[in-house]
Amino acid sequence: MHAMVIQNLNPSYIFIQFGEASKRYDSLTAKIARILPHFTITSEFLAILVSRSKPEWSISSAVSGFCLTCSYDVGMADIPPFVSNTDDLSAWFRTHRDDMNGLYVQSHFAVHPFHKCGLYQESDPPALQPDYCTNKILSRYLNYSLLKPSSGRVVGEIYSHLIMDFGSIEKLFLRKSTTRYIWGNYGCSYNSFNFQVFTVSNYVNYAALLLPFDIFNWILTFAGGTFVNILVFKITASVASTNGYLFVWSFISALEQPVAAKKESSSIKLLMLCGTWLTSIYILGSLYKGDMVSVLTSRTTQQVPNTLKELISTNTTIFTTNHYDDYLVGPTPIARCTLHSLAIPQLMNAINSTYSMHHTLTRLQRSSKCIKIVSVYEMSENILKHGHLRTISGKEFIIPDQFAFLDPTFLLTALQATMPLFATYLPIHNGEIALYTELRPWIVSANFFGPAFISGLASLIESGIYGWWSNNFMEVALLIDIAGVKGGGNIGEEFAKVSFAREMRTKHGVMTAELDLCFFVRSGFIFTIEEAQVK
């Protein structure tokens, strides 16, 4: 580039060929795009070529076009695959430069070349955001150029799935200004907000031997055993050694280890009583062993809150990560916490201050901490390995053994999938309804471009492909997230480890109580009959 400037060269086209495509190609082209306007080159067009590991280079394999005269910042567009030589390239550029009478549209997110949007995507990444695909498809069929960024002649702007406070809405929509926007009636995103509690599992100790039964069942069981042995001493007139043998025999039988009884201890009275006892104790022993296996093999947790009021009253540390853009501070929006700056103030204004919910929201705003994350997997790894997080204000704090996230459902789902990968915190489900639901619509320029774009968006939604993009992106987004941290070869292995702690401590409280009572009734009935026969 410096050589062209020094020699006062003004070529019609500039070709930059890379020997091999790499994963950093997109960032490299972005750097070149930022540097080029500072050179005194008046060429109208720049083409960057990548051979993608092929021995012979082909323009149609991977080419990104940059229009240097559209604005100070370089405008970017994809060269279609049918372009195979410089003549086709020149014809395409002339058509591209004059499309829609010079209409250029600015998008608020990055537009990357070479990514295809369709039902079956063979390119990398395997799933693309529906917002990106919508712009790619509609820019082709509506014949407009998509710039990112641009400070030049832009007559259309697209903002997808944004939420604003009343001040931003009044400034951008209600007041008269040179730039007005309208809401898109299709493709709105509805995000329900709820909380998810994460806690560490309890350590297994010797107290686990008492966990399968509650205290009431243990008392009944030991009382029943004492009562049976008293009845044995009352009924039989044999020697004490035989009674001791029967006691040991009943205890061993409870552990499902039968031992043959002595013949001299056999009697119809004793067999009826011991038969009733052994039947009951066999059932109780089977239940105990089944529950014991469940206790020792499953991960038990601490008591966690199940409702929002319980969450606030227990002083559990609450995190929130959702943000919205504030457009009132200047041309560049500032990210603000949705829960603190938007949701809670509007909810408190909508309800009476005497309601208990008003007090709950006040405590929620004071106690919750707002953090900003880029990667869910990386944040989960940081929590479990380093044990700390940092708020948007820069304050760092230690993660407690029990905390909660109050965020959209899709983010909570990602956290539920990533936390168990590190086998420290368990996600606990709750029965609370959504605290609130936010609506994030499309926003487009309020000129002739707006209705055309909304009509095209409606066609994509009614055809079903927009929903397919959304579902596919949500399923693959976490895979891409993990691949960025762990590497692509570990994705399958990591997802094989994902398991949710659905099995908690089990007990048969009512059923064991009924069995104990049934045992007492039978024992008392037998004892009464025997006493009547003796008399």
Q: How many helices (H) and strands (E) does the chain have?
A: 18, 19
Residue 59's pLDDT band, with cuts at 50, 70 and 90, is: very low
How far apart CA 59 and CA 72 sit, in angstroms, is 26
pLDDT per position as a tens digit, 130-143: 887 888 778 777 76
SS3 of residue 352 by DSSP: coil
Query: CA dihedral defined by 353, 354, 359, 362, rounded to 10 degrees?
Result: 10
Q: Which two tokens mark 43? A: 């060429």
Q: What tokens were used for 69?
A: 């005269």
428 exposed, middle or buried (CB, 10 Å; 0-12, 13-18, 19+)?
buried
Report the share of the chain in percent with pLDDT over 90.
0
pLDDT, tens digit (0-9, with 9 covering 90-100), for 265-277: 455 666 666 667 6
DSSP state of 262: P
Does residue 487 or residue 496 have the better pLDDT?
Answer: 487
Q: Tell me which of 34-38, 464-468, 527-531 is least confident.
A: 34-38
pLDDT band of 171, cuts 50, 70, 90:
confident
User: Average pLDDT for residues 173-183, to the nearest whole number?
Assistant: 73
pLDDT at position 509, please?
Answer: 45
Higher pLDDT, 511 or 525: 525
- CA torsion through residues 435, 441, 446, 451, sign: negative
Tell whether the model's pLDDT for residue 101 goes beyond 60: no
Confidence at residue 240, expressed as pLDDT on a 0 to 100 scale: 47
Q: What is the mean pLDDT of residues 74-96?
A: 59
DSSP state letter for 36: G
Nearest Cα neighbor of 153 from 245, 241, 76, 69 is: 69
At 400 the pLDDT is 79
Evaluate whether 47 touches 65 at the Cβ level (below 8 Å). yes
| Band of pLDDT at residue 95, cut at 50, 70 and 90 | low
Token code pair at residue 424: 């420290």
Cβ atoms 438, 343 nearer than 8 A: yes
**pLDDT band, residue 51 (cuts 50/70/90):** very low
| Range of 152-161, 329-338, 357-366 with top mean pLDDT | 357-366
Q: Is the pLDDT of residue 201 over 50?
A: yes
| Surface-to-core class of residue 408, CB atoms within 10 Å of its CB (0-12 exposed, 13-18 middle, 19+ buried) | buried
Query: Which residues are 196's β-sheet partners?
Result: 405
pLDDT digits (tens, 9 = 90+) for 375-392: 676 777 777 666 667 777
Query: Which residue has better confidence, 169 or 291?
Result: 169
Q: Where do the structural domains in the chain lie, given as residue ranges?
A: 1-97, 107-188+442-470, 193-201+301-440, 209-298+506-534
- Measured CA to CA, the distance from residue 218 to residue 356 in angstroms comes to 41
The one-letter amino acid at 343? A
Alpha helix stretches (DSSP H) within 187-307: 215-235, 240-254, 268-297
What is the total residue count of the chain? 535
Cα 5 from chain centroid (whole Å)? 51
Rounded to an integer, the average pLDDT of 86-108 is 59
- Which of 25-34, 44-53, 131-140 has maximum average pLDDT? 131-140
DSSP secondary structure of 463-500? HTHHHHHHHHHHHHHHHHHHHHHH-GGGHHHHHHT---
d(CA 174, CA 59): 48
List, for residues 238-281, the tens digit of each pLDDT value.
444 555 555 555 555 555 555 555 444 455 666 666 667 667 77
pLDDT at 290: 67
| pLDDT band, very low/low/confident/very high, at 365 (cuts 50, 70, 90) | confident
Mean pLDDT of 513-520: 54
Q: What is the DSSP string of 425-462?
A: EEEE---PPPSEEEEE--EEESSTHHHHHHHHHHHHHH
Confidence of residue 151 (pLDDT cuts 50, 70, 90): very low
Strand order across the beta sheet in which 45-50 lies: 15-18, 45-50, 63-67, 75-78
Highest mean pLDDT among 19-28, 63-72, 251-260, 315-324: 315-324
Mean pLDDT of the chain: 66
Summarised one tens digit per residue, pLDDT across range 307-358 is 888 888 887 888 888 877 776 666 666 778 888 888 888 888 888 877 888 8
pLDDT-based confidence at 82, cuts 50/70/90? low
Q: What whole-number percentage of the chain has pLDDT above 70? A: 42
User: What does pTM read for this prediction?
Assistant: 0.51
What is d(CA 509, CA 212) in angstroms, rounded to the nearest whole number? 9
